[in-house]
Amino acid sequence: MSDDLIFIWGNFVRGNSIAFKQVYDNCFESIYLYGQQFSKDPQTIKDVIQNTFIKVWEKKESLAEVRNPKAYLMQMFRNQMLNLIRFNKNNPLYSTEIDADNYDFKLAVPVELDIIEKERTDEIQKKLKDAFKTLTAKQKEIIYLKYVKGLEFKEISDIMEINTRSAYKLHHRTLLNLKSQLGNIDNMLLLAYLTWYTKEIYSIF
């Protein structure tokens, strides 16, 4: 995490409105792209981000102890988004059945997989698609946070509001699930697939 953001955050919690805008500018894109995994509606995502930052501003005096501002903001955003999804459970823009472990977290698979031989592309692509259909929302989310955002398990646990040990276990179970779906491939090859396809999907990062 950038030391600059920590410095800016320190100024923000002391009431500096310019620093608040800098925090917003620094974190908006990452939070917005994270939000796209929960909702299809860009305006909804922006509204929830806006509300998140309003709440952060209102409670700024109590945030001096925050050590990872971006993870903290993503956690707040996630909670507000899940609350909104629960409230709008009959809206087609959101998931229809919401609870703590069941929400509409999207994770796509790229059209091409050049990491492997051309003759195996179709086979692996189909296996990946099928494999990700078997993952729970939390399993998809931890892959996004780990391989797209490149976060450490402590940061992931803060965002998902689970302890670090649980984050490790969730990640391990997810890899075991994927590995079994892909024919018990080598661990390093599985990690190569994950790293490659997430970079392809989210090349904007």
Same domain membership, residue 193 and residue 131: yes
CA angle 7, 48, 10 (to 5 degrees): 10
Same domain membership, residue 126 and residue 67: no
172 located within any domain? yes
Same domain membership, residue 194 and residue 128: yes
Query: What is the count of structural domains for the chain?
Result: 2
Domain end, chosen from 87, 102, 131, is at 87
98 located within any domain? no
- Short-list 134, 118, 126, 122, CA closest to 180: 134
164 located within any domain? yes
pLDDT at 205: 37
Domain end, chosen from 87, 108, 134, is at 87
pLDDT at 62: 92
40 located within any domain? yes
CATH number at residue 164: 1.10.10.10
Domain end, chosen from 44, 69, 87, is at 87
Same domain membership, residue 9 and residue 79: yes
Same domain membership, residue 184 and residue 126: yes
Same domain membership, residue 169 and residue 123: yes
39 located within any domain? yes
Domain of 27, in residue numbers? 3-87
107 located within any domain? no
pLDDT at 203: 47
101 located within any domain? no
pLDDT per residue rounded down to tens, the chain (205 residues): 567 899 999 999 998 989 999 999 999 988 998 888 888 888 889 999 998 999 899 899 899 889 899 999 999 999 998 888 877 666 655 543 444 455 667 665 544 444 444 445 566 667 777 888 888 999 999 988 988 788 889 999 999 999 999 999 999 999 888 888 877 666 666 776 676 655 555 543 3
